[in-house]
Structure 1
Amino acid sequence: MFIPFQDQLYETVFIERVNRFILSCKLSSNGEVITVHLPDPGRLKELLVKGNIVYVSYHEVPHRKTKWTAQLVKKRDADRLVSLRSTLPNGLIEEALKQKKLPEFEPYSFVQREFTYGGSRWDFLLENNKAPYLLEVKSVTMEKDGKGYFPDAPTKRGTKHVKHLTKITREGIYKTGILFVCQRSDIDEVRVADWIDLQFAEALGQARETGVDVYARSCYISLEGITLNQPVPVQLT
């Protein structure tokens, strides 16, 4: 499953992170320093290092503070690209679900994206003739020694969602699942970063024990687009 990027990408050199959502970068073409919107609010400490290459897109949108958006980053000592768009996996997974490209969910049919149930909004609603299915997608960008870790910053919202999925699973009306999508190709296993957010780690462990499905997939990122790769295991202990 391949999703092409729609926007032209421009190469820049990362200078600094001004705040949670703003970067300062230098265009490689002419040396101009530009202000760039960062869609991923995570810490990204091992990626946003001075001198790393950041690929950005340009958007002429009225009233927007910056016309540039960070899309991809590449370490100076590696050829691999990593996506900086935390919402990118949702579009990829939507197409994969519609085209039945995910064996994990083969028994289910895609119904809709952003489905509200129980006071929370879930990424996807699936269904078959037995029970509807709520699926939540999480983006993984942090990597250490070939292992992907989530989250890379404390996530009260993520913990709340996982606990809510556990409650829904116990009710027995909906089946539920969490799919970690690794926005890079050098991850062979996903783990929970319990030293960053112990509450999320405990909630996810309880969720799987209760019956919430926990899956993960790797991706390949190029300057042309994103490709969904093979499943990878999720280790919670």
Structure 2
Amino acid sequence: MIPYSPDLIKARFINRPNRFIIKCELTETKEVVEAHLADSGRLLELLLPGKMVFLRAVDDPKRKTKYSAVIVERENGMGWVSLNAMLPNQLAVIAVKEGMISKLKDWTYVRSEYKKGSSRWDLLLSHPDGRQMVVEVKGATLIKDGDGYFPDAVTKRGAKHVRELGEIAKEPHWEAALLFVAQRDDIKSIKPADHIDPDFGKAMREAEKAGVKLLGCRCHVGLEGIKVIGEIDVSV
């Protein structure tokens, strides 16, 4: 588990002035504050006026905001969704090390942030037979009828990376994987959001044909922290 601060601050979402800032009203004091949002996705279904969010205080004179957004209540109010796009990479490392991804059980974590070709990849893994694997990690929060979708906004950079994975998968002694980490526990599977970014969906289908492993896992999110709880299917 990746723990949260024990002193989370309850608030209500007001609006989102820009991609990385949300404005909230603190429940206890009614003070209106700005908080840093470490997720550039649209989050249109989650960040609605009046929605409950939890913040953590940040004591850093270099920061423009004194708070960071941690979690937001789900659409139905029956659980939580992580608002930190930096966590999926850390959760992916934990999932690999603990053997929670069946197709990666024979692989060993080597390092994060590995440069190969023209891109930097989230994870580098190794296999006892000498093969190596690069893994691109994507955090997912968008859901409809139990299915998770990625992306929730057009991502040309994301599609480019997926196509590069396809090229790496064709190289001798190299493998490639695209790992989706659902930052909520009510997602049953992951699919490309063709209705939002058809090019990303096309890139995923091309990558699968090229041999890229499409993997997924979901996480339980609570007031105490976030942890991977199991695999989910990824289909194209």
TM-score with structure 1 setting the length: 0.95
Letter in 1 for 2:59: E
In the other structure, the counterpart of 1:92 is 91
**Aligned equivalents of 1:163, 1:217: Cα separation in 2:** 22
How far is 1:180 from its partner? 0.6
Structure-to-structure mapping, 1:28-43, within 5 angstroms: 28-43=27-42
- Is contact 1:96–1:102 with CA below 8 Å preserved after alignment? yes
In the other structure, the counterpart of 1:124 is 123
**Aligned equivalents of 2:167, 2:204: Cα separation in 1:** 12
User: What runs of 5+ residues in structure 2 fail to find an aligned partner?
Assistant: none
* In the alignment, structure 1 residue 141 sits paired with structure 2 residue 141: yes
- Is contact 2:34–2:65 with CA below 8 Å preserved after alignment? yes
- Is contact 1:184–1:219 with CA below 8 Å preserved after alignment? yes
Closer, same or farther: CA 76–120 of 1 in aligned 2, 3 Å:
closer
**Aligned equivalents of 2:85, 2:6: Cα separation in 1:** 16
Question: What is the DSSP-based 3-state SS (H/G/I as helix, E as strand, rest coil) of the residue aligned with 2:157?
Answer: helix
Letter in 2 for 1:87: M
- Is contact 2:180–2:215 with CA below 8 Å preserved after alignment? yes
Closer, same or farther: CA 7–158 of 1 in aligned 2, 3 Å:
farther
In the other structure, the counterpart of 2:220 is 220
Closer, same or farther: CA 87–7 of 1 in aligned 2, 3 Å:
farther
- Is contact 1:112–1:124 with CA below 8 Å preserved after alignment? yes
The Cα offsets for residues 183-205 of structure 1, whole Å up to 9 and x where unpaired, read as: 01111111111111111110010
Q: What percentage of residue pairs aligned between the two structures are identical?
A: 40
In the other structure, the counterpart of 2:235 is 235
Question: What is the DSSP-based 3-state SS (H/G/I as helix, E as strand, rest coil) of the residue aligned with 2:113?
Answer: strand
- Is contact 1:53–1:76 with CA below 8 Å preserved after alignment? no
Aligned-residue RMSD, C-alpha: 1.3
Aligned residues: 235
Question: What is the DSSP-based 3-state SS (H/G/I as helix, E as strand, rest coil) of the residue aligned with 1:204?
Answer: helix
TM-score with structure 2 setting the length: 0.95
- Is contact 1:51–1:76 with CA below 8 Å preserved after alignment? no
Letter in 2 for 1:198: P
The Cα offsets for residues 121-169 of structure 1, whole Å up to 9 and x where unpaired, read as: 0000000123101111110000111110000001111111101111111
The Cα offsets for residues 163-185 of structure 1, whole Å up to 9 and x where unpaired, read as: 11111112234101011111011
In the other structure, the counterpart of 1:153 is 153
